[in-house]
Amino acid sequence: MENNKVWFVTGASKGLGLALVKKLLNEGYKVAATSRNLSDLTKAVDTQNEQFLPLAVNLTSEYSVQEAVEHTVKTFGKIDVIVNNAGYGLLGGIEELTDREARDNFEVNVFGSLNVIRKALPYLRAQKSGHILNVSSIGGFTGAFAGGGIYCATKFAVNGFSETLSAEVAPFGIKVTIVQPGYFRTNFLSAGSLAVPQNQIADYQNVRDTVNFHQNDMDKQQAGDPEKAAEAMISITNEANPPLNLFLGEDAYGLVEKKLAFVQNELATWKELTLSTAIQQ
């Protein structure tokens, strides 16, 4: 089976990105997939499929991203779906993390996606169609756990600019979806993927507990199936009216309900004070 859509997927050598690329190729889509290391990507995907275009890309370099986008359009003639999936986890107390550690996380998780969006949008606008899937996290909706401050801030940023982007590109027939997964059984929590601060502060036992939970208890025990997540992502690109927010996983669903209930309660509790700030006529 051959599908006409062309996908551009970042962070494709492992995790959700790899699961998505494999499923897309199996379903006959044309796929341009990026990774920092071309050898890792080609080994992971392991295919001779002519509809697969592996690309070595430094997402923090506008020039590298532009080359990749142009190569994709030259090879396949267009881009229909962009999946900004590349990113990495960072767990550490806000006081513990250095300016460099925090900025590095933003460079990949936020500015890497923005580079792709800026370089691809001229093509999407010209064709008056397209769908941008920005892979955020449930940590972009709720950050109420010790140690997630900077990582969650990067994902809150993704959620924020994606909402605005959705409004900006709607006149051109371009759709935007924020994909917000819970815990899926990938290597995202493994030592090589999950960064921690070099300089840890002993007082923050709650942060150490969070790190230990993720690395020792949750890693390889996640309930989410990455192949089913890939199926869900593909399915919404075939919808006439796809969601702006796509939460994936039972855990994500529960955390959304909890956050909404918390906000509703605070809104009601402090309503009088909230409404007391208007200029009196």
CB of 19 closer than 8 Å to CB of 226 = yes
* Residue in 5, 23, 155, 175 annotated catalytic: 155
This prediction has a pTM of 0.93
Q: Which residues, listed in sequence order, are joined to residue 32 by a DSSP beta bridge?
A: 8, 53
Domain count along the chain: 1
**Tokens representing residue 83 in the block:** 């999946």
Is 276 among the residues known to form the active site? no
Domain residue limits at 178: 6-253
CB of 97 closer than 8 Å to CB of 154 = no
Q: Is residue 244 part of a domain?
A: yes
User: pLDDT tens digit string along 227-263?
Assistant: 999 999 999 999 999 999 999 999 999 999 999 999 9
Q: Is residue 50 part of a domain?
A: yes
* Residue in 13, 64, 113, 136 annotated catalytic: 136
Mention every residue, 6+ apart, whose C-beta is less than 8 A from residue 250.
Answer: 182, 223
Is 155 among the residues known to form the active site? yes
Q: Give the three-class secondary structure for 90.
A: strand
Q: At 58, which CATH number? A: 3.40.50.720
Q: Is residue 261 part of a domain?
A: no
**Phi, psi for residue 269 in degrees, rounded to 5:** -65, -40
Profile the chain (281 residues) by mean pLDDT over runs of 10 residues: 87 93 96 95 91 97 98 98 95 96 97 98 98 96 92 97 99 98 74 82 91 73 83 96 96 96 98 95 86
Q: What pLDDT is stored for residue 61 in this prediction?
A: 97
* Residue in 123, 151, 183, 204 annotated catalytic: 151
CB of 196 closer than 8 Å to CB of 158 = no
Q: What pLDDT is stored for residue 20 in this prediction?
A: 97
User: pLDDT tens digit string along 80-97?
Assistant: 999 999 999 999 999 999
Is 183 among the residues known to form the active site? no
